[in-house]
Amino acid sequence: SASGGVRENAVITPEERKEIEKLSGIVDVAKVEEEARKILNIDSEYVLYSNNLYTDYNNPDQYTWSLYFQNQTDNNYWHINISLNAKTLELLSFYKFDNEITNEKPTITKDEALEFAKEFIEKVQPNKIEEIEYYNQDIKEDQQSYYFTFTRKIDDIYVVSDSISVTVDAVNKEIDSYSFEWYKGKFPPMGEVIGLDKAYDILFNKIGYDLKYTIVYDYDNADGNKREIKLVYAVDSKLPLNIDAHSGEILDYSGKLYKEPSIFEYDDIDNSYARDKIETLSQYGVGFNSSKFKPKDKIKQKDFLYLLFKSRGYYGLETEEDIDKIYEELTDSRIIREGEKYPESLVTKEEAVKFIIRAMSYDKVAEIPNIYSSIFKDSSEITPGFEGYINIGYGLGLINGDGSGKIRPRAELKREDAASLIYNYMFN
């Protein structure tokens, strides 16, 4: 009998069995660590700091091991993040980082770095080399590193979400990062599609263009201060740029029929210094799907990045539950990089500014070493490598000091602070 409430012969449901079968064959983390060290020649000075097992967003049946290695001394630190297929140990991505600043000149050209990247891809993914095409980005010569993206093509049609990306260290001729994004399911047949002329007609008449002033920066200028204001016609950013190739309907970024964004109303912001900014953001569909904004609470990374994501005009991901997809989109945009995903962590001022400066595509200027002055009383508290982000953010009016000459870079942001920062990014 099943005395004491204990169930005998418990039945495994079909759903439970399916999940168990998914987990079968996953390699033990000790063997994964051994393989990771072998692939990247990670020596014993690097300690395995953490490991995580998770499912792939695009391939839900695929499990991934993510390992984080760290090597730290009194003055320097290095870390390596590497991801492997949890069953096959296929290399999916890695990212190397250190806080050492160097002024050394590159030893290879951009074209040589590109060939080096192709050779690496052919080594780790020989069967995919014929299925990708290099996206010819506007990359300047004489860089210390080069970031290349190769997009997947099927029958001359680009698979926008699938790519192989490689960062080449042009000083030491090494691979600093690698990312392999590849959907393993079936693609629908092309079938009957609208013509390109019809697509252009929808673009011009349904989505439209706006006359806008935009700031153009000269990235070849070492101090990054040479900029020009230009009047341009730009695509209306209030609508997504996805047109259904069969029906001609405008789709959101999740592939669903586009709908006007929601306007959020909150009942707890009357005493917030950022009330007007929070309400303005709401009018633009930038906010949380709740009656509570919780302005005095400290903001988590996932919530800050959700606001930043919405501020960039993305549609279709309407709730915070879409956070995995949002992280993927922001990673593809290089706003968040390998080893920076900590959804539940609190966000500091310098971290928030870093993400926004990247969203503005000023990160190359921000990361130029040894050119930024200590303009605040507490500049010494800025994390090494963040000086450019903070100085540029201050210069653009994204952030302010505390009135005493301090910027407080490591202060944890409240949700109202985050709203103010996002507002300044959108409207200043």
Residue boundaries of the structural domains of the chain: 113-187, 190-259, 261-427
Neighbouring residues of 358: CB distance < 8 A, sequence distance ≥ 6: 333, 334, 335, 336
Please tell me the predicted confidence (pLDDT) of residue 239.
79
Please tell me the predicted confidence (pLDDT) of residue 8.
43
The DSSP call for residue 316 is: S
Q: What is the mean pLDDT of each run of 10 residues along the chain (428 residues)?
A: 42 62 84 96 93 83 91 84 95 88 89 96 95 84 91 91 93 94 89 92 89 74 66 82 91 78 86 96 89 96 94 66 84 88 94 95 87 91 93 93 91 96 92
The DSSP call for residue 206 is: I
Cα separations (Å) of 152 from 56, 155, 164, 230?
18, 10, 8, 34
Q: Is 260 exposed, middle or buried (0-12, 13-18, 19+ CB in 10 A)?
A: exposed
Strands (E), 205-363: 209-217, 227-235, 242-243, 250-251
Q: What distance in Å separates the CA atoms of residue 403 and residue 78, rounded to the nearest whole number?
A: 36
Q: Tell me if 151 sits within 8 A of 121, measured CB to CB.
A: no
pTM value? 0.58
What does 98-156 look like in DSSP terms, one character per residue?
Answer: E-----PPPSS-HHHHHHHHHHHHHHH-TTTGGGEEE------SS-SEEEEEEEEEETT
Cα separations (Å) of 72 from 47, 78, 232?
9, 6, 48
Please tell me the predicted confidence (pLDDT) of residue 62.
87
Cα separations (Å) of 362 from 15, 233, 270, 353?
47, 21, 35, 11
Please tell me the predicted confidence (pLDDT) of residue 259.
78
Q: Tell me if 68 sits within 8 A of 89, measured CB to CB.
A: no
Q: Tell me if 269 sits within 8 A of 290, measured CB to CB.
A: no
Please tell me the predicted confidence (pLDDT) of residue 364.
86
Record: fold of 113-187: Nuclear Transport Factor 2; Chain: A, (3.10.450)
Q: What distance in Å separates the CA atoms of residue 311 and residue 336, rounded to the nearest whole number?
A: 15
| Tokens matching residue 166 | 């490689």
Q: Tell me if 78 sits within 8 A of 71, measured CB to CB.
A: yes
Among the listed residues 185, 145, 159, the one whose alpha carbon sits nearest the alpha carbon of residue 334: 145
Q: What distance in Å separates the CA atoms of residue 18 and residue 255, rounded to the nearest whole number?
A: 28
Q: What distance in Å separates the CA atoms of residue 18 and residue 311, rounded to the nearest whole number?
A: 39
Q: Tell me if 374 sits within 8 A of 403, measured CB to CB.
A: no
Q: Tell me if 236 sits within 8 A of 207, measured CB to CB.
A: yes
**Measured on CA atoms in the order 284, 285, 290, 296, is the torsion positive or negative?**
negative
Distance of CA 158 to the CA centre of its chain: 21
Among the listed residues 274, 335, 283, 290, the one whose alpha carbon sits nearest the alpha carbon of residue 309: 335
Please tell me the predicted confidence (pLDDT) of residue 2.
42
